[in-house]
Amino acid sequence: MKKTARIVLCCLFAALFLFSAFQLFKALNNYRREEQNSKDLQDRFLVTLSHAEGDTAAPETLAPRGGEAPAAPPETAESGETAETGETAASAPQTPAQDTPFSYTPQDPDFAVNFEALRRHNPDVVGWLYCAGTQINYPVVKGRDNDYYLHRDLEGNDLYSGTLFADCRCSEIGACRNYLIYGHNMQNYSMFGTLLLYKDPGYYRLHPYLWFITPDARYCLDLYAGFYVDESAGLYDPQLSSASLSSWLAYAAEHSTFRSAVGIGGDENIVTLSTCAYGTGSQRYVVIAKITKE
């Protein structure tokens, strides 16, 4: 009887080991494929720009953007309620930001995107998202729904890490009140795996802006706030009213994990970058940015 029990336990442990090894293999294979896919896309569709000799950008923390003084954060919202629906944003553990706001001059990306070739490759491409010094250097697509690219690459092949995609309800970035971009929180920091690093105010000071490049323009995304929300929060509405957006901006300023000098009004358009927050159920971590067309 004891011998039988030992055999059963050995079989169970062996099965558990094999299952774990298989899951690890799948994860590593996904990371390898995603890394190779990203490199191939960058090699095929990004064109390095040449700069005139001596034309060197100043360090980004030496001069204020546009020569403006840091803007004061919006007034605090009560209980995180939106002006229209009265819903309460997710009450995740927050990390109060203590760093003093600072100003900077964004540096242009040193590449251009061959959108003509990229859109022949996949007509769903709407732009290219880039954050210097991070792994965020990807095309952004918009599908017919918000599921297709969740676990598919740009060619439509199954890939767990998926592709960065804009909300299917969004129009063009300059015409949408709240332009939503989604990406997986990958543990190797690919896709939007670096977004949660904005929980550290020091990381924000190293990466205070991103670039969103479209066939028609380049948009600098000056980061305003990063915070937790529930996946059902009213923030996930591309067409927020001015009153509702103002309320969310106030909530974001109060609960942000970093402190920014960027100011946004309720009548402006924003970009919201969203990813999963592991270990927090239905909660997401989002980063809100002000849109500046360059």
d(CA 252, CA 292) in angstroms, rounded, equals 19
Does 41 score more than 90 pLDDT? Answer: yes
180 contacts 140 by C-beta, under 8 angstroms = no
User: What pLDDT score does 182 carry?
Assistant: 98
Per the structure block, which two tokens stand in for 226?
């990063």
CB 145 within 8 A of CB 235: no
pLDDT at position 7 is 67
- Predicted confidence at residue 91, as pLDDT, reads 43
Average pLDDT, the chain: 81
Residue 68: band (very low, low, confident or very high) from pLDDT cuts 50, 70, 90: very low
Question: pLDDT confidence of 141, banded at 50, 70, 90?
Answer: very high
CATH code: domain 43-48+83-293 is 2.40.260.10
CA atoms within 13 A on the CB side of 164: 24
What's the average model confidence in pLDDT over 147-154? 96
User: Is residue 49 very low, low, confident or very high in pLDDT (cuts 50, 70, 90)?
Assistant: confident
Q: Is the pLDDT of residue 129 over 90?
A: yes
Domain ranges of the chain: 43-48+83-293
pLDDT of residue 80: 36
Q: Are strands 125-130 and 137-141 parallel, antiparallel or unpaired?
A: antiparallel
Length of the chain: 294
Q: Which two tokens stand for residue 40?
A: 């191939």
